Amino acid sequence: MDVYGLCLGGNVFGWTADREDSFAVLDAYVEAGGNFIDTADSYMRPNMGISETIIGEWMAARGNRDSLVIATKVGSDGGLSAANIAQHVDESLARLQTDRIDLYYAHKDVGDVPVEETVRAFDQTVRDGKVLRVAASNVPPDRLVESLELSVREGLAAYEWLQPHYNLLERAGYERDYAPIVERYGLSVAPYYALAAGFLTGKYRNQSADGAAREGMVSKYLDDPRGERVLDVLDEIAITRGVPVGAVAIDWLRAKPGIVAPIASARTVAQLDGILPTFTLDPSEITKLDEASA
């Protein structure tokens, strides 16, 4: 797929961004050249499906569906059984007001459904014309390989993309367990939490983080000595380049093998402006970030 270098995360739509703000962010993203939007049938609990609904209403209002690549997911709500996939794909299509999903992810695989059942169910969505390509997110490495091998052996629709948890402060799991699979099977990668829940934008630091940050998702980064090291290097590069700190963190991901479009979300147009890809890091800058985050 021909996609923009930043995939816009839709998890905030209808959650921390209301309909009006969501439309504004989506408009600004497209105006910047973006075409790749990621959501899920479970975004955002407890109001599941609201993100897909807002994206669907926006596409209908703008008449731009054919110029976009829409990714959504199934499995976080109800699992990856054939029956659940068959039901949820139709529900996602209805909320998105579209006749096909460009990229359909297995959102979460907890191992309670045989791999073959899930793979054949995804294959059926492709054969039915409801889905163009299938992909995997939180699928354990062994089950991911089993799925890929089955698809090749049986001529079924195979996972083409991987959406892993990967950023400057979350490297080991992906690089150890998934990068070899990506290389072997030629998968395209769209990492989530590209900005480590906002920590890599520089807005949370040990000396300034508020109580909510310390109790939330970034708390572990505040206490990790690598956190300050990485932020110092990000600051240095951002100042030299004249670009936002978050954009540097995202471009580090884009420099890694197989990474096509890191995923990041924005509640406002101002936040979006801080993460759009407008430059390319040079090898020495990448090395500095590699060393700081090791």
| Residue range 168-224, pLDDT digits in tens | 999 999 999 999 999 999 999 999 999 999 999 998 876 566 666 556 788 889 889
ω into 191 cis (within 30 of 0): no
**Is 33 in a helix, a strand, or coil?**
coil
- Spell out the residues 6+ positions from residue 40 whose beta carbon is closer than 8 angstroms to its own: 10, 11, 51, 52, 72, 73, 74, 76, 105, 107
Q: Which CATH code is given to the segment(s) 7-201+244-280?
A: 3.20.20.100
Please say whether the dihedral angle defined by the alpha carbons of residues 94, 97, 102 and 107, taken in this order, is positive or negative.
Answer: negative
pLDDT at 222: 87
Cα–Cα dist 128/100, whole Å: 10
pLDDT at 206: 64
Q: Which helix (H) or strand (E) holds 225?
A: helix 225-241
CB 104 within 8 A of CB 122: yes
Choose the catalytic residue: 4, 29, 43, 178.
43
Instruction: Please report the DSSP string for 97-158 in residue order.
Output: T-S-EEEEEEEE--S-S-HHHHHHHHHHHHHTTSEEEEEEEE--HHHHHHHHHHHHHHT---
pLDDT at 207: 56
Helix then strand count (H, E) for the chain reads 13, 8
Q: Is 43 a catalytic residue?
A: yes
CA atoms within 13 A on the CB side of 195: 26
Cα–Cα dist 277/246, whole Å: 10
Give the count of beta carbons closer than 10 Å to the beta carbon of residue 192.
Answer: 20
pLDDT along the chain (294 residues), means of 10: 97 97 98 98 96 98 98 97 98 98 98 98 98 98 98 98 98 98 98 95 74 71 92 97 97 98 97 95 98 97
Overall pTM surpassing 0.85 (yes/no): yes
Q: Are strands 131-138 and 159-162 parallel, antiparallel or unpaired?
A: parallel
Closest CA to 56 of 99, 116, 86, 118: 99
Q: Give me the residue spans of the domains in the chain.
A: 7-201+244-280
Cα–Cα dist 116/146, whole Å: 9
pLDDT at 204: 85
